[in-house]
Structure 1
Amino acid sequence: MTEFSILCELAKTRMQMQGTGEKSASRKMYRNSLDCLIRIHRKEGVRGINRGMVTTVIRETPGFGIYFLAYDTLTRALGCDADADYIIPKLLLAGGMSGMASWISTYPVDVIKSRLQADGVGGANRYDGIVDCVRQSWRVCRGINRGMVTTVIRETPGFGIYFLAYDTLTRALGCDADADYIIPKLLLAGGMSGMASWISTYPVDVIKSRLQADGVGGANRYDGIVDCVRQSWRREGWRTFTRGLTSTLLRAFPVNATTFATVTLFLINGG
């Protein structure tokens, strides 16, 4: 599951970065996510396929822990019981704030992940590894901070929808502790929640990735969020904001299904 998740994440980032390289050929380098991975393997070998692998694991391992810890703490503090007043706004707030909590702790790693995975798009590779990427990005301090605002815009509503969708679906499916078929129900609710979260915020994620990786292949192309949106729309049209969505959803369902089911069953069994 980990390797599959990493491959989907790599394909997503590379698809999002099409059209940003110095060479015009980078605009339509990949036909789809599978073609993207095949071409990366042919051109860059195993090292290319594994770009960003370590940073992805470093980001996601504590990230999910922080999400759920913050969410549990906030739902208790806000009184998010089934019969509570204003339950939907409370769940959205708890989910959004938990996303913010995780973002604060993992954002620098996310930037390095994006820059490593985008390295080589439309040109030669620039980084020798994680340490070299950190060093070069830190030298231009703005490189670490690029995409910060778009990440906040994505994480806050994205995780609000993420947890609200899961809560709504588990109630609708009847995922009580003694319910029949509890595991399939939890897997379905978790997978659908992950997909709903990504679909609702995916265009913002494209802009986030482009800003975070801006300058990897040479000089910076974008002056900020608005300029990135404008240039992306003008050069490539609306399809720009859906590139990589297929691999993202293929990854989102199994990853979030297993994550939510594992956490929920752990809590049900008195963990």
Structure 2
Amino acid sequence: MALDFVAGCLGGVAGVLVGHPFDTVKVRLQVQNSNQPRYRGTVHCFRSIIRQESIFGLYKGIGSPMMGLTFINAIVFGVQGNTMRYLGKDTPLNQFLAGAAAGGIQCVICCPMELAKTRMQLQGMGEYQVKSKVYKNSLDCLIRIYKKQGICGINKGMVTTIFREIPAFGFYFLTYDCLTRALHCEPDDSYIIPKLLFAGGMSGIASWISTYPIDVIKSRMQADGVGGINQYSGIMDCIRQSYQKEGWQVFTKGLTSTLLRAFPVNAATFATVTLFLMYTRADDDCKELETASASAIQQHSSL
């Protein structure tokens, strides 16, 4: 049981290091002013950030996901693994239900973490009146928000986060389960690593596609109020205004960078988790066999 949590931590670290630059681009594209867009697309956004803010600009706000995803992945893989044991049968439906349960529970950490990440990533964007460095780091960001707005402030966007995470993680684990079954991923398979990387990457893509429009609204809700300007009175108002101003395309803003990020991040995450569990459990099984054999020999010699 504890191994699920440890594996999740390791997978989270691997995923953040690989994918945070893509996430920064995604957020910038999602929340930029539609009337005077600063970036023409994913590639232009990447180049602009590197040119204006150096390579470190792509890693703005990484402290929040690096701290948060350690716990989030521990929760997700821990809850998912334990829920599967509780449900009993390893079926696609149970994989979806276990993933959905894990997605819902981890929102408690995910929402404040993503709020801090979003606010940090927006520093330097003129249209949000945060040209100067308002926050020192992710923790400082959350502390400042808490002092001004209390517990509700640091949980801004919680409803949209829940609506996104529950189905997203359901499809996440369902897709991975189906693909690893179809690819016949076995410990003694010489191609197991590329198979796990492919299954993990495709699981991430399926997960994001299933709930991406909700993520756009979540980002806009969490960015709302930066610089003292509030545009939306609630979720439905955000959806209505966004659609009226930018059409249905608004709900796919940043999708390209998200999918580019989703494959390597989730490939690294799932492969790390699966291989860790596979080999640690194999070692445990070997130790159990050795203990049982030693016990049997002792009993035999005492006869």
AA aligned to 1:134 is L
User: In terms of mean alpha carbon deviation, does 126-135 or 241-250 score higher?
Assistant: 126-135
- Runs of 4+ aligned residues of structure 1 deviating over 6 Å after TM superposition are none
Q: How does 1:91-106 map to 2 (within 5 A)?
A: 91-106=95-110
Q: Name the structure 1 match of 2:135.
A: 128
1:67-94 alpha-carbon deviations (Å, 9 max, x no partner): 111110000001132xxxxx33322110
AA aligned to 1:108 is P
Give unmatched runs, 5+ long, in structure 2: 1-13, 282-303
Q: Name the structure 2 match of 1:258.
A: 268
Q: Structure 1 residues 37, 89: CA separation in 2 closer, same or farther (over 3 Å shift)?
A: same
1:191 and 1:252 in contact (8 A); partners too: yes
AA aligned to 1:102 is Q
AA aligned to 1:74 is T
1:12 and 1:244 in contact (8 A); partners too: yes
Q: How does 1:157-196 map to 2 (within 5 A)?
A: 157-196=167-206
AA aligned to 2:243 is W
Deviation at 1:46? 5.6
Cα distance in 2 for residues equivalent to 1:200 and 1:114: 21
Q: Name the structure 2 match of 1:143.
A: 153
RMSD: 2.0
TM-score, with length taken from structure 1 = 0.89
Deviation at 1:4? 4.5
Q: Does 1:18 align with 2:32?
A: yes
Which of 271, 280, 283 in structure 2 is aligned with 1:270? 280
User: In terms of mean alpha carbon deviation, does 149-158 or 237-246 score higher?
Assistant: 237-246
Q: Name the structure 2 match of 1:88.
A: 92
TM-score, with length taken from structure 2 = 0.80
Q: How does 1:28-47 map to 2 (within 5 A)?
A: 28-45=37-54
Q: Structure 1 residues 185, 205: CA separation in 2 closer, same or farther (over 3 Å shift)?
A: same
AA aligned to 2:248 is W
Say how many residue pairs are matched.
261
Which of 122, 141, 148 in structure 2 is aligned with 1:118? 122
1:191-214 alpha-carbon deviations (Å, 9 max, x no partner): 100110011111101101111111
2:275 aligned counterpart, secondary structure: helix
AA aligned to 1:15 is L
Q: Name the structure 2 match of 1:108.
A: 112
Deviation at 1:143? 3.1
User: In terms of mean alpha carbon deviation, does 72-81 or 159-168 score higher?
Assistant: 72-81
Identity across the alignment (%): 48
1:194 and 1:256 in contact (8 A); partners too: yes
**Considering only CA atoms, is the larger Rg found in Structure 1 or Structure 2?**
2
1:269 aligned counterpart, secondary structure: helix
1:100 and 1:152 in contact (8 A); partners too: yes
AA aligned to 1:222 is Y
2:92 and 2:178 in contact (8 A); partners too: no
Cα distance in 2 for residues equivalent to 1:209 and 1:251: 17
1:43-69 alpha-carbon deviations (Å, 9 max, x no partner): 445664332121121122222222111
Q: Structure 1 residues 32, 192: CA separation in 2 closer, same or farther (over 3 Å shift)?
A: same
